[in-house]
Structure 1
Amino acid sequence: MRLSEKVVVITGGGSGLGRESALLFSAEGAKVVVTDLSADRSEKVAKEVTAAGGDAVWLKADVRVESEMTAAVDLAVSTYGRIDVMFANAGIGEIGFGTVAFDELTLENWQAVQDTNLKGVFLAAKAAFSAMKAQESGTIVVTSSASSLAAYPGFVSYTASKHGVNGLVKALAFDLGRFGIRVNALCPTHGMSANLPLPIDAEVLGQSYEEAMGPWVKDHAAMPLRLNRPPNLRDNANVALFLASDESAYMSGVCLPSADGGTLARVAINFPDTPGVLPE
């Protein structure tokens, strides 16, 4: 098992990639602390983990509140004796989800996105560091976004927050490495949760955008790589698992595109699909 006996705290663990990772990490031997802004979601996922034979506890925790991130780490240590992995996964999308013009973007909405997506990662990492420093070991995994590598149109606040996340990951890799702590991020393009634009009390769909859109027609796929199924949450959870496991023991400061399908390999120029034929 790739995470045998490791203790993992997951923020935003009540839905989407956080929930998928909680189930996957547990199946790989981890003891999981599921945290989410929704108590109902946190508890439900913890029960799903235990029903599948795993070991999990849960806590309602807001990544924007330092004391609540500290409480999440304290719960891991008091329950399991240590923390090996902090998966700082919680995040929100752009307010209005790309429909608000830049000159109509309010400071309040800008700040709401930074508070969750950037400050939330900082507070999760800070809380984990206090325990990991004493252990002289630990791994911090962060959910960033492909928008940290190429801007999403209309997602000004979100794109800025995720670029900040990548910078934070690189800075922490320098500062925490001497304590045996490594810090990495996955930057998903496709296969992300269809719950992201929905309110927190919405039904947990357990699907990616591509799955939720209906029957998969690979010839119409948005990415160059065309497989016989759509990208899904597990595709990204597998990357998170790799970064959390000892398989990536000497990786730190890396921001790794996941479920990209070749999207970031393209340019805006409309080249033909046929190799060797230049555009007129």
Structure 2
Amino acid sequence: MRLKDKTVVITGAGSGLGRESALLFAREGANVVVTDLIEARTKKVAAEVQKAGGKAVALKADVTVEADMDAAVELAVAEFGRLDIMFANAGCAPEGFGAIPLWETTLEQFNAVNAVVMTGVFLASKAATKQFLRQGEGGNIVVTGSAGGIMAYPGFFSYGAGKAGAHHLVRALGNDLGKYGIRVNAIAPCHGMSANLAMPPEAEVLGKSYEELAAAEAGGWDPVGSPIPLQLSTPPNLLDNAYAVLFLASDESRYINGVILPATDGGSLSKVSIPFDDNWKLDQEVLQK
């Protein structure tokens, strides 16, 4: 087991990647503190972990509230004796899911997104670090960043700015905290993320990626018709990203620090928007003759 007897706090664990990671981490031997803004979701995920034979407790917590992040860490210590890993995963999409242009976006709407995707990372990291320093044995912080913090998603300027800020926090904190044996890394998912991000908070937790839902609607996955350069027989899913988080959370990555790992990228970040066909080099040779 890759996380045997490790204690993990996961923010935004009521759905999507957080939920998938809670289930995976528990299978790998971790004690899990499931936190989310929606209390019913935390209890359901904790119960799922327990039903599968794992150890988990639930806590309603808002990543934008410092006292809530401190409470999550305190619960981990009270229940399991220590904290080993903070997975700062909570995120939210901009209001309108990219449909509201800059000139109609309010300051409140912009700040609401950044409060979760950037400030939430700061507060979760701060709460965890205080406990790591008390324990004096190092620690591990993993963050859910985004390919949207590397490349611009149309209409997601507030989200992308916040994720880019979170990425730099990871680099800066990795540098600052390394001398205490504390590692800080992030994944930057491009595909295989939860379709629940585009849905209201009260919506049913689907446990599926955008690509999985699209494949189901189309009657099957068409890798050739997909914009992802890597062509595999099945669509990317939440577990693909959860395994990347597991790697960064485990001792297998013990000398990785301050790194943003593009997860489930499938080659997308290596593409350009200019439509070159497969024979573009040959075409250029013909034109030059």
Tell me if the contact between 1:211 and 1:230 (Cα under 8 Å) persists in the aligned partners: yes
Show the counterpart of 1:209.
210
Separation in 1, partners of 2:58, 2:282:
57
1:105 match: 105
Quick one: distance in 2 between partners of 1:47 and 1:149? 36
Q: Is the 8 A contact 1:207 1:233 kept in 2?
A: yes
Contact 1:272 1:278 in 2 (8 A): no
TM-score, length-normalised on structure 1? 0.98
Q: CA deviation at 1:171?
A: 0.7
Aligned partner of 2:44 in structure 1 is 44
Deviations 1:212-271 (A, max 9, x none): 112211111121001000000000000000000000000110001000000001111111
Residue of structure 1 in register with 2:12 after alignment:
12
Aligned partners of 1:33 and 1:57 also within 8 Å: yes
Q: Normalising to structure 2: TM-score of the pair? A: 0.95
1:199, 1:274 → 2: CA distance? 45
Deviations 1:182-214 (A, max 9, x none): 000000000000000111110000000001112
Q: Distance in 2 between matches of 1:179 and 1:52?
A: 35
- How do 1:188-267 and structure 2 match up within 5 A? 188-213=189-214, 214=216, 215-267=220-272
**Higher mean Cα deviation, 269-278 or 237-246?**
269-278
Q: Deviations 1:118-176 (Å, cap 9, x if unpaired)?
A: 11110000000011112231100000000111111110100000000011001101111
**What is the CA–CA distance in structure 1 between the aligned matches of 2:94 and 2:121, rounded to whole Å?**
17
Given residue 89 of structure 2, which amino acid in structure 1 is its aligned partner? Answer: N
Partner of 1:121: 121
Write out the 4+ residue segments of structure 1 that deviate beyond 4 Å after TM superposition: none
Q: 1:34 to 1:278 in 2, by over 3 A?
A: farther
2:81 aligned partner: 81
Contact 1:83/1:132 (<8 A) preserved: yes
Q: Give 3-state SS (helix, strand or coil) of 1:43's partner.
A: helix
Q: CA deviation at 1:72?
A: 0.2
Q: What SS class does the counterpart of residue 183 from structure 2 fall into? A: strand
1:146 aligns with 2:158: no
Check the 8 A contact 1:236/1:258 in 2, yes or no. yes
In 1, the alpha carbon distance for the partners of 2:39 and 2:269 equals 37
Q: Residue 64 of structure 2 aligns to which amino acid in structure 1?
A: R
Pair 1:273-2:274 in alignment: no
- Cα-to-partner distance string for 1:7-32 (whole Å, 9 max, x where unaligned): 00000000000000000000001000
In 2, the alpha carbon distance for the partners of 1:150 and 1:15 equals: 25
Instruction: Give 3-state SS (helix, strand or coil) of 1:277's partner.
Output: helix
| SS of structure 1 residue aligned to 2:195 | coil
Amino acid at match of 2:160: T
Q: Is the 8 A contact 1:271 1:278 kept in 2?
A: no
Residue type of the partner of 1:179?
Answer: Y
Report how many aligned residue pairs link the two structures.
280
CA RMSD of aligned residues (A): 1.1
Where does residue 167 of structure 1 map in the other structure? 168
Q: Secondary structure at the match of 2:196?
A: coil
Q: Secondary structure at the match of 1:219?
A: coil
Q: Return the alpha-carbon distance in structure 2 between the equivalents of residues 197 and 13 of structure 1.
A: 16
Give me the whole-angstrom Cα distance separating, in 1, the residues matched to 2:45 and 2:144: 19
Alignment-derived partner of residue 183 in structure 2: 182
Compare CA radii of gyration and give the structure with the larger one: 2
Deviation of 1:275 after TM superposition, in Å, equals 6.9
Q: Distance in 2 between matches of 1:278 and 1:12?
A: 50
Cα distance in 2, alignment partners of residues 277 and 83 from structure 1: 58
Q: Which runs of 5+ in 2 are unaligned?
A: none
Q: Secondary structure at the match of 2:186?
A: strand
Q: SS where residue 262 of structure 2 aligns?
A: strand
